[in-house]
């Protein structure tokens, strides 16, 4: 069986303990590879390699760092088909999605930060004829980057690219649920000529490897994307150690549809924003609020289209919905459908495991699910489900929908559909969210700040925000 290896000091190596974990292909429900069950010893080796590489990498000219990251991006592009297939097998997502979104975006992340770092400039503050201050932004040292399973290479590279571009070395941990493309990336790093120790990838479980990274006294910054409960745990360890922390956490995003919207555009995008990647994108809109005059029209059209979505083998180009990432996650998502029924909801379509013929007969699939009849403040509408389950609710006024939209502990993203510009601006100002999409969804400009309010996170990624996170500002004051 294929063995995934750690990438430490430029070499592909097994875990010190010699122990491996099973890695599943969720579309067939079977183990297909093995992943290192690394521990604190492996993290220690990785940290030492990163620390040793830091003095040279941090003073390597930006142009040279940029050149290597560009080469890595080119290698990702050159291996698009192979990486997309691997991502699909490992995660269960349709190969067409991995090919059009995940892998191209991973290449873009490296390309974006390879160019951003050479364009980046710092501030100067002049005190008239007394003195001039200028800000130095220096790399800090070894960064810990911990990422989730839903967009494996996409989110992994979103952290690593700015950390490396700004001159830090990295100890990174991909999700143990979807480790394959991070492993394949480590091979491409070797091919791209990334110096030894600059990037180290340690595979394994969160409570072992992630915990060891978080606790390490010589890893002074942690960039984490994952669940809010894990983020809280990481913060409780890192904050008393005064580490720099970037936390990108869970969401329960509202999708607000006004009667004056462009109905067809809204409908096709809402299908995507509800069920892309089986609803396992932190930005998916899982609570759909519809202005009452078009509630019935929306419901009929939405249910009709969603009930015809093809759930099937992710390797098939015509599949719209692939497998759920793991059996335990499938069970968790289905338990929320049971909860919704207990809370008085009516399942309009879906609500159960989907059985797929052929080699996927034992796979973990769920029919896209729409539920109505729930109050905005029930558990189903307050807790993150992170699967192909949405609720629909009517509303009458802007004030009412804002109150319901803002009622959760989360504040990641939101979507608003209206042709009324003033209303759009009002909603954008009043929604408690880090991102507001008006008449679109998941339209991403990598220069913009990315992240959430309330329990959806602390700090922002994206654009120069990430370069600021991965550097320490130092003010230099010179008297004239
Ligand atoms: P998770 O929190 O279970 O795991 C995320 C990562 O943290 C994994 O690599 C895991 O191994 C690691 N981890 C687990 N325990 C740890 C510990 N004690 N110390 C250090 N690391 C530990 O999340 P998940 O199930 O992989 O991902 C789904 C969650 O991620 C959802 O809540 C989703 O909303 C969120 N997410 C957020 C964003 C965002 O940008 N805000 C993007 C994608 C996913």
Mind listing the pLDDT tens digit of every residue in the chain (480 residues)? 999 999 999 999 999 999 999 999 999 999 999 999 999 999 999 999 999 999 999 999 999 999 999 999 999 999 999 999 999 999 999 999 999 999 999 999 999 999 999 999 999 999 999 999 999 999 999 999 999 999 999 999 999 999 999 999 999 999 999 999 999 999 999 999 999 999 999 999 999 999 999 999 999 999 999 999 999 999 999 999 999 999 999 999 999 999 999 999 999 999 999 999 999 999 999 999 999 999 999 999 999 999 999 999 999 999 999 999 999 999 999 999 999 999 999 999 999 999 999 999 999 999 999 999 999 999 999 999 999 999 999 999 999 999 999 999 999 999 999 999 999 999 999 999 999 999 999 999 999 999 999 999 999 999 999 999 999 999 999 999
Q: Which of 227, 233, 452, 460 to mutate to test the pocket of ligand 1 (most atoms within 8 A of CB)?
A: 227
What atom of ligand 1 comes closest to residue 457's alpha carbon? 41
Residue 149 Cα to ligand 1 midpoint, Å, equals: 7
Residue 146 Cα to ligand 1 midpoint, Å, equals: 8
Pairing, β 6-8 against β 11-13: antiparallel
Residue nearest atom 9 of ligand 1, based on CA coordinates: 175
- Catalytically annotated residue among 248, 291, 384, 465: 248
Q: Is the CB of 384 under 6 A from ligand 1?
A: yes
Is 282 tagged catalytic?
yes
What atom of ligand 1 comes closest to residue 226's alpha carbon? 30
CA 389-393-394 angle, 5° bins: 155
Residue 100 Cα to ligand 1 midpoint, Å, equals: 24
Residue nearest atom 21 of ligand 1, based on CA coordinates: 210
Q: Is the CB of 386 under 6 A from ligand 1?
A: yes
Residue nearest atom 18 of ligand 1, based on CA coordinates: 207
pTM over 0.85: yes
What atom of ligand 1 comes closest to residue 148's alpha carbon? 26
Domain 253-453 class, CATH top level: alpha beta
| Cα separation, 346 vs 371, whole angstroms | 5
Residue nearest atom 36 of ligand 1, based on CA coordinates: 226
Residue intervals of the chain classified under CATH 3.40.309.10 are 253-453
Q: Which of 219, 230, 385 to mutate to test the pocket of ligand 1 (most atoms within 8 A of CB)?
A: 230
CATH of domain 2-249+457-479: 3.40.605.10
The confidence score (pLDDT) of residue 477 equals: 98
The confidence score (pLDDT) of residue 319 equals: 95
Residue nearest atom 37 of ligand 1, based on CA coordinates: 249
- Catalytically annotated residue among 145, 169, 261, 282: 282
The confidence score (pLDDT) of residue 452 equals: 98
The confidence score (pLDDT) of residue 339 equals: 98
Residue nearest atom 12 of ligand 1, based on CA coordinates: 206
Q: Is the CB of 204 under 6 A from ligand 1?
A: no
Q: Is the CB of 234 under 6 A from ligand 1?
A: yes
Q: Is the CB of 282 under 6 A from ligand 1?
A: yes
Q: Is the CB of 179 under 6 A from ligand 1?
A: no
Q: Is the CB of 148 under 6 A from ligand 1?
A: yes
Is 440 tagged catalytic?
no
What atom of ligand 1 comes closest to residue 231's alpha carbon? 2
Q: Is the CB of 154 under 6 A from ligand 1?
A: no
Q: Is the CB of 226 under 6 A from ligand 1?
A: yes
Q: Is the CB of 210 under 6 A from ligand 1?
A: yes
Residue intervals of the chain classified under CATH 3.40.605.10 are 2-249+457-479
The confidence score (pLDDT) of residue 135 equals: 98
Residue nearest atom 23 of ligand 1, based on CA coordinates: 226
Q: Is the CB of 146 under 6 A from ligand 1?
A: yes
What atom of ligand 1 comes closest to residue 456's alpha carbon? 41
């Amino acid at each position: 069986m294929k063995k995934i290896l750690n990438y430490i000091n430029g070499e592909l190596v097994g875990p010190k303990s010699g122990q491996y974990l099973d890695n599943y292909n969720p579309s067939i429900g079977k183990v297909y590879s093995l992943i290192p069950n690394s521990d604190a010893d492996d993290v220690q080796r990785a940290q030492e390699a990163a620390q040793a590489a830091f003095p040279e990498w941090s003073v390597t000219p930006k142009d040279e760092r940029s050149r290597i990251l560009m080469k890595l991006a080119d290698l990702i592009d050159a291996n698009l088909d192979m990486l997309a297939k691997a991502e699909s097998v490992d995660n269960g997502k349709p190969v067409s999605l991995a090919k059009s979104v995940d892998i191209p975006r991973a290449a873009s992340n490296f390309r974006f930060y390879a160019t951003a770092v050479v364009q980046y400039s710092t501030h100067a503050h002049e005190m008239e004829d007394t003195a001039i201050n200028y800000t130095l932004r220096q790399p800090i040292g070894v960064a810990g980057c911990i990422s989730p399973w839903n967009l494996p290479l996409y989110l992994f590279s979103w952290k690593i690219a700015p950390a490396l571009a700004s001159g830090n070395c990295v100890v990174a941990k991909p999700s143990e649920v979807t480790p394959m493309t991070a492993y394949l990336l480590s091979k491409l790093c070797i091919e791209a000529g990334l110096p030894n120790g600059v990037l180290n990838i340690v595979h394994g479980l969160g409570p072992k490897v992630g915990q060891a990274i978080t606790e390490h006294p010589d890893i002074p910054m942690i960039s984490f994307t994952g669940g809010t409960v894990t983020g809280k745990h990481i913060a409780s360890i890192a904050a008393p150690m005064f580490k720099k922390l970037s936390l990108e956490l869970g969401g329960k995003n509202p999708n607000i549809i006004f009667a004056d919207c462009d109905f067809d555009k809204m409908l096709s995008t809402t299908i995507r924003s509800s069920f892309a990647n089986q609803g396992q994108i932190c930005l998916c809109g899982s609570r759909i609020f519809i202005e009452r005059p078009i509630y019935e029209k929306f419901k009929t059209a939405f249910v009709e289209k969603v009930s015809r979505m093809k759930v099937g083998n992710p390797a098939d180009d015509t599949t719209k919905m692939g497998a759920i990432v793991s059996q335990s996650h499938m069970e968790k998502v289905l338990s929320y459908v049971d909860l919704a029924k207990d809370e008085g909801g009516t399942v309009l379509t879906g609500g159960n495991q989907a059985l797929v013929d052929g080699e996927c007969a034992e796979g973990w699939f769920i029919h896209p699910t729409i539920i109505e009849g729930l109050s905005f403040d029930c558990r189903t509408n307050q807790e993150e489900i992170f699967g192909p389950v949405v609720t629909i609710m009517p509303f009458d006024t802007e004030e009412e929908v804002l109150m319901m939209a803002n009622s959760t502990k989360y504040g990641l993203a939101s979507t608003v559909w209206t042709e009324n510009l003033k209303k759009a601006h009002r909603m954008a100002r009043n929604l408690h969210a880090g991102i507001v999409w008006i008449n679109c969804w998941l339209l991403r400009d990598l220069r913009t700040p990315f992240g959430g309010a309330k329990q959806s996170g602390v700090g922002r990624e994206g654009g120069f925000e990430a370069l600021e996170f991965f550097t320490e500002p130092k003010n230099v004051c010179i008297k004239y």
